Structure formats: structure tokens, C-alpha cells
Structure 1
Amino acid sequence: MLTGVKETGRDKLFLICNYLYVFAAFLIVFYPVVYIVSASVSDPKYVASGEMWLWPKGITFDGYQRVLENSNIWIGYWNTIVYTVLGTAINLAVTLPAAYALSRKDFVGRHFFTGMFMVTMFFGGGLVPTYLLVKQLHMVNTVWAIVLPSAASIWNIIVSRTFFQSSIPRELQEAAQIDGATNMKLFVRIILPLSMPIIAVMALFYGVGNWNSYFSALIYLNDNAKYPLQLVLRQILVLQEMSAQGGGVIDSSTATAMNTKAEIAALVKYAVIIVATVPVIAVYPFLQRYFVQGVMIGSIKG
């Protein structure tokens, strides 16, 4: 705020409205997080009845204990880590060279290729042709069906291209070429070391996307041992819903057993949500400045 400038009544009203809006947005975002954390350590009967709406009631850690004892969850956890690391590495290996090539003014046809890339942002072949292609390539029920079809994001290529155009001096590239550097040496030894901010941004974007992805696994995988953590969580949610619905005329003992099973599934569900979210939350503070920088890079079109 500038010193010596007196705020008018409208300025103060505008500032108050901004604070109220930010506070309301904070509550909308923060409440679900608090609710899930509280539900993961609360007695399921209090959660199901609505008695627990903010703070934990009937604290229990049975949900986390069952998560730690469930081998399927740990297998899904490991699969998610593998898909995220391998997928992000492939994403960067495809995105960065493509973006750098499109940023070079001496690249013949760069406008044509940029236009062709952008067409895919608005038009796609659809799910059935994509599945048939993956099947013909014999990638169904393999890790490649998860990481290869989503190897590149056109939007991220455009953002990276903008970074190369605006942050890497053309004179530096020309000087390296005069010294005898080939295009590959120029890219590996000069461009990449100067591009750590955009590399971190792309790694963050792709990493979070790969970590949260479940649709590709749902379509292409049919082996439970290869399911990512998100698909394991989906199975728990489906199990809870089926247990809650039941069906037909059942006696009291069966109803009690089904209700107990549904409560256990709900407890495990919230615990798995926390376990699946913690890694991203733990990493994000260290990459927050890169995330903000990536948003700013994307706001500059070039």
C-alpha cells in the first residue's frame, strides 16, 4: 500500500469484501479436508449418523490399522509410485524437446506443427478408437497402457515453448553454435541447465496428474495386482455402496453384519484418502514457488 494515500470509504468497503470472499473460499476448501481427517479417526457410527461434522468423535485408529494390514492397498501404493515416476519421466522426455524445437525460429514448419498439435486440444479420436489402438499395440494390461497414451500434454508443450522463447536468449544459442555445438549438445548442455524452473513446473504438473489418474487404469487394466491406489480406493467405495444398499428381505443378524461391514469400509475409505493425499501435500510446499511461476509462464502467450 502506498504511504500518504488516504483510503476512501469505497476502498475500505472493497477491502472488506475481499477479505470476506477470501475467508469464505478458505472455509469452502478447508472444511472437506478437516472433515476427512476427522472422519478417518472417528467411530463410523458417529460419521454415518451425522453427529461428527467437524471434530473427531469416538477416536479410533482402526481404519489406519486396517490400511497398514491390507496388502492390496500397499500393492496399489507401489504401483502408483511406479506409474507416477515412470510416467513423469516419459512426459518430460517428450514435452521438453518438442517445446524447444517449436521455440526455435529456424525450425522449418514450426507454425504448421504447432497448429497440428493444437488441433488435438479440441478434437480427439474418442475412447473406442483409442482402446482399439492400445489393444493392437498389445499394451492392454501393461504399464505402457498407463504411461504412453498420455505421454504429452499439448498445453504443457505450449507453456514450455513460451518459457524457452522468453527466458533463453537467442544470442546464447547462436554463440554455442558458432563454437561448434550441435543441436543435441546445445539442448543437453546449455538449454536444460538453464531451464530448471520449467522442468520443475512440468514435473509438478505431470506428477500430480499421474498420481491422481485412475481412468486409464480402469479402462486398460484387468489384473488387480497392477491396479494403482486410486483404483483400489474406488473398489472400497463401490464395496461400501453395495453393502449399504443390500437387497431383498434379510434377517436382523444379516443386516447387522452388513451394517458393520459398511462401517468398516467407510472407516478404511477415509483412511485411504488421507494416505493417498499425504505424499502430494508433503511435496507441494517445496514446489509451490515453481507452481506459481508455471502459472505466470502460462499467462504469457508467444
Structure 2
Amino acid sequence: MTTLSPTRPASRVKPHRSYSAVPGESPGSPPWRALKSLLLLVCVLLVVLPFVAIVSTSLADAAQVTEAGGFVMWPDNPSFDAYTALLSGGLVSKAMTVSVGVTVVGTALSLISSIMLAYGLSRPGSFGHKPVLMLLLMSMLFVPGVIPTYLTVKQLGLINSYWSLILPTMINAFNVIVLRSFFMSLPRELIDAARIDGASEWSILTRIVVPLSKASIGVIGLFYAVTYWNAFFNALMFMNDASKWPVQLVLRTYVINNSTLSGGQLDVAAGAPVPPAQSLQAAILVLSIVPIVLVYPFVQRHMNKGVMIGAVKG
């Protein structure tokens, strides 16, 4: 015997409504799709064209830069003379080495200290859990000023030292809170089972917590790396020796302040032509961007998962 399911009365069926930003057009209509494509194209051009102009200017020769009077959109005779002059052992090549070293060492120390601190704060019964957590939260609200920071670094004898570029910003309270929230979301039964089996806290952290937190650790590591690479204010305050400047301070001095690099600072042979100032400034800007651009694709696959840590789930 076949039973017929009751049908919903026609009065209760609500027609589907499509909303659109353009009156009279549905989101799937060809005019609306064309408008979205046009807006997306404009946004892409606003992002890409300045970067293309910077790269093209860094590759242009002196005659074309002089003729253009500034930025060159497409070099007629591409030349790497600006990059060769910058990376030949002068001020910029030393600054690149300093920036790479500070970024690698600083990111490693920041990740290690942040992971250990976040794991300790994620265990409710850990020693000094609440006071340390309150101190960490207060550091987000009450930021020390420039003068106290400078006096502290001076009292520690770190003026003109590479450690002055790392230690003052080694732990970021926000990153620690994000890692702590992720560690607390891990299954507690898994950690309790490992503790029953005799695993120490160090073994639990290194063999269970860290492998399960690769996405969040990768994103936090990228945040720390970008912060160290782009930092220039600490170097401006604490570095008196120009040979110890990171590349961002060189970029600020010779691009934003529109200063000119001399042949001695570029380590160019006597009598050799020096590339135009616009090409050198554009090349410094490209060199300051390329490392982060090369690192980002390796971390990008963790970004979608990592940035959703602590988000509200519907």
C-alpha cells in the first residue's frame, strides 16, 4: 500500500528572494557579473601597477629614467646594474644580511618562547597561571613609551647591539593569547592519556601539542617574521653604527628621505658609473619585499586554518 506524504499548503510556501546591490538586477545576471569583474579588475590593477612600476624602474637604464622623469612602466633595455651595485658588498648587502639574521634568529626565539609560555598558560593547574596571564593581558593595554624602552635597553648595555632588535619585541602578547586558545582547544583526554602513560610535560608539548598545532604555529611564525623584517624603529633608536642597520632602516633613509647612495656605500669601483638614484631606490624597495613574498607561499596553506583560531562558529 502506497502512502502519500502530505504536501505543504501553498499559502505557507515562501518565494525565494534574490537580493542585489543593483536595483532590478539579480546577483547571477550577466550585467551584475560584468560589474563585479570590472571592480575586481580595478582592484587588481591598483595593486599590481605600482609594483610593476617599481620593478621596471629598478631595471631601467639611466637614459630612460631621465627621459621618464621618475617611474618607468616598461624598460626598453632591462639592466640589473642597480641590483649588482647594491649587492656588491656595500651598505645594502650588509643590511640584507643583518635583516635576514635578525629575522631568522628573532622568529625562532619568539616562537620557542611563545609556545612554551602559551602551553604553560593553557594548563589550568600550572604555577603562577593567573598572575602571569593577567600580566600578559595588561601588557596589551599598557604599552611602555619610547623613553622607558630606551632607558631599559641602555641599562642592559644593548645599545648598538643586534640583541636590541630582538629582545624588546621577542614576545607578543596577542600571539601568545592566540596560541593559548588553540592549545586549550586540543582534546584534553589525549593529553591526560599521555600523562597516564608516563609522558613528561616536555614530551607532551613536543610530541603531541606542537605536531597538532602546525597550522597555528606557522601563522604565528609568519606574523613574527614579518614584524622582524619590517621593523626599523628599534634600529633607529638603538643602532648608532650605520654598518649594523637593517634593510628597512636603509630603505627609510635613502628612499623616504630621498638621500643618495654614494659610490663608497655601494662598493663601486672608482670611475665606474653609478646607477641613477631612482633605480637604486626602486631596487632597494624590491629587495625589501621579495623575501616575504617568497616565504608566504609556503605558509599560505596554513593561513585559512590558522586565522580562524578563536573565531565564532555558527
TM-score band, normalised by the shorter chain? 0.7 to 0.9
CA–CA distance in 2 between the matches of 1:52 and 1:231? 22
Report 1:223-302 matches (<5 A).
Answer: 223-237=241-255, 240-241=258-259, 264-300=276-312
> Which of 196, 199, 206 is matched with 1:178 structurally?
196
CA–CA distance in 1 between the matches of 2:199 and 2:170? 29
Who is 1:123 aligned against?
Answer: 142
Q: CA deviation at 1:60?
A: 3.4
Who is 2:109 aligned against?
Answer: 90
Structure 1 residue 146 corresponds to structure 2 residue 165: yes
59-68 or 169-178: bigger deviation: 59-68
Question: Equivalent residue of 2:213, what SS?
Answer: helix
Is the alpha carbon distance of 1:199 and 1:51 closer, same or farther for their aligned partners in structure 2, counting shifts above 3 Å? closer
148-157 or 35-44: bigger deviation: 35-44
Q: Percent identity?
A: 37
Q: CA deviation at 1:279?
A: 1.8
Report 1:62-77 matches (<5 A).
Answer: 62-77=81-96
Who is 2:51 aligned against?
Answer: 33
Who is 1:11 aligned against?
Answer: 27
Structure 1 residue 104 corresponds to structure 2 residue 104: no
Which structure has the larger Rg? Answer: 2
1:162 and 1:300 in contact (8 A); partners too: no
CA–CA distance in 2 between the matches of 1:68 and 1:85? 20
The amino acid that maps onto 1:10 is: S
Is the alpha carbon distance of 1:293 and 1:271 closer, same or farther for their aligned partners in structure 2, counting shifts above 3 Å? same
Quick check: which one's helix share is greater?
1
Question: Equivalent residue of 1:273, what SS?
Answer: helix
CA–CA distance in 1 between the matches of 2:130 and 2:38? 46
Any idea what the Cα deviations from partners look like across 1:56-82, whole Å, max 9, x if unmatched? 245433212211324221111111111
CA–CA distance in 2 between the matches of 1:264 and 1:143? 32
Who is 2:225 aligned against?
Answer: 207
Q: CA deviation at 1:297?
A: 1.7
Who is 2:234 aligned against?
Answer: 216
CA–CA distance in 2 between the matches of 1:53 and 1:206? 34
CA–CA distance in 1 between the matches of 2:256 and 2:230? 18
8-17 or 89-98: bigger deviation: 8-17
User: Which runs of 5 or more structure 1 residues have no equivalent in the other structure?
Assistant: 244-259
Q: CA deviation at 1:194?
A: 2.2
CA–CA distance in 2 between the matches of 1:53 and 1:71? 26
CA–CA distance in 1 between the matches of 2:70 and 2:93? 31
Who is 1:134 aligned against?
Answer: 153
User: Which runs of 5 or more structure 2 residues have no equivalent in the other structure?
Assistant: 1-15, 20-24, 262-272
108-117 or 23-32: bigger deviation: 108-117
213-222 or 63-72: bigger deviation: 63-72
131-140 or 60-69: bigger deviation: 60-69
CA–CA distance in 2 between the matches of 1:189 and 1:199? 14
Normalised by the length of structure 1, the TM-score is 0.81
CA–CA distance in 2 between the matches of 1:24 and 1:119? 43
Q: CA deviation at 1:175?
A: 0.7
1:44 and 1:266 in contact (8 A); partners too: no
1:46 and 1:52 in contact (8 A); partners too: no
Who is 1:248 aligned against?
Answer: none
Is the alpha carbon distance of 1:112 and 1:44 closer, same or farther for their aligned partners in structure 2, counting shifts above 3 Å? farther
Question: Equivalent residue of 2:279, what SS?
Answer: helix
Who is 2:3 aligned against?
Answer: none
Who is 2:215 aligned against?
Answer: 197
2:231 and 2:248 in contact (8 A); partners too: yes
The amino acid that maps onto 2:159 is: V
CA–CA distance in 1 between the matches of 2:42 and 2:131? 46
Who is 2:268 aligned against?
Answer: none
Structure 1 residue 158 corresponds to structure 2 residue 170: no
Normalised by the length of structure 2, the TM-score is 0.78
CA–CA distance in 1 between the matches of 2:33 and 2:176? 38
1:100 and 1:164 in contact (8 A); partners too: yes
Question: Equivalent residue of 2:258, what SS?
Answer: helix
1:39 and 1:52 in contact (8 A); partners too: yes
2:218 and 2:299 in contact (8 A); partners too: yes
The amino acid that maps onto 2:205 is: F
1:35 and 1:55 in contact (8 A); partners too: yes
